[in-house]
Amino acid sequence: MSDQPSPARSFGSVADAYDRGRPSYPREAGAWLVGDQPQTVLELGAGTGKLTEVLLGLGHEVHATDPDDAMLARLRERLPDVPTSVASAEELPAADGSYDVVVAGQAFHWFDHERALPEIARALRPGGRLALIWNKRDERIPWVKRLGRIIGTQEQETDPTETLVTSGWFGFVENASYKHWQVIDRESVQDLVLSRSNVAVLDEDGRRAKLAEVLAFYDDYGRGMDGMQLPYVASCFRATVVDRPEGAAIATTEAGDEGRPATTGGEPTDTDDVLLIDFR
């Protein structure tokens, strides 16, 4: 049996690199996900607190959870007043109907959806929402696409719409997108690489080789001490929990017109398009 951690549980070993190297989220994306009025929020897969900090800045009350205590340790350092729990999406530390919103940033694709979605629905108040967000590199830009081929693209194709609308626990799914940028330099691009789950599970020689490959790329495309601007699209989704009588069975439905997402807020992103302007 391999001693290597699974990708989903590999982040604790690289918590420092994750905290330094990963981008935050746009404030307007957090407002779209959770709202502009104070809400009680249960955050799943909170990691080192990138999204938590945004939601707190918007005035929301957040309980942050993550299955890895090493990740939460960094969150506690940054946000010592935030309540935290070491917990997975499949077993939530929440009473029935206790939260207005359950939110997950860069995490939903790791969940066991058959177990997690009923738990999330249980924790939500009537009319409550599940809100999901992923930062995705804008790979319409050629050099960004080349970087993706080097460091991995696991999260680039994530869309939870079908999973949610066919589960029976949630209704219509809305989506929005917001562009933003992360300034990276020769140091932070290494942290970005080390924070990737597919790199974290490599042995020492494998990680060293991957870093060498990325540094060679940076030396070709970067601007030394001035760094480079890495473009992202924050891809956001939200869905309201199904209103059901107590004890009623949940009927699973097929995704039809009701399952088609409505795009609001940002601009659509088609990764088959290519931007000819190189925004380094």
- Where are the extended beta strands (E) located within 33-163? 40-44, 61-66, 84-86, 99-105, 124-137
* Residue 255: CATH number of its domain: 3.40.50.150
Q: Which residues contact 131 (CB under 8 A, 6 or more apart)?
A: 33, 34, 101, 102, 103, 104, 236, 237, 238
The span from the CA of 78 to the CA of 164, in Å, is: 32
Q: Is residue 2 a part of any domain in this protein?
A: no
Query: Quick check: is 110 in a domain?
Result: yes
Confidence category of residue 114, pLDDT binned at 50, 70, 90: very high
Q: Which domain holds residue 168?
A: 7-137+153-179+232-264
Bridge partners, 170 (sequence order): 241
**H/E element, 207:** helix 204-221
Q: What is the pLDDT of residues 155-191, one digit of tens each?
A: 556 799 999 999 999 999 999 999 999 988 888 888 8
120-169 confidence digits (pLDDT tens): 999 999 999 999 999 999 999 998 998 888 887 665 567 999 999 999 99
| Residue 186 resides in a domain | no
Mean pLDDT, to the nearest integer, of 92-98?
Answer: 97
Amino acid at 12: G
pLDDT in tens, 214-268: 888 888 876 655 678 999 999 999 999 998 655 554 444 333 333 333 333 444 3
Residue 178, beta-bridge partner list: 234
- Predicted pLDDT of residue 186: 85
Q: Determine, yes or no, domain membership for 147.
A: no
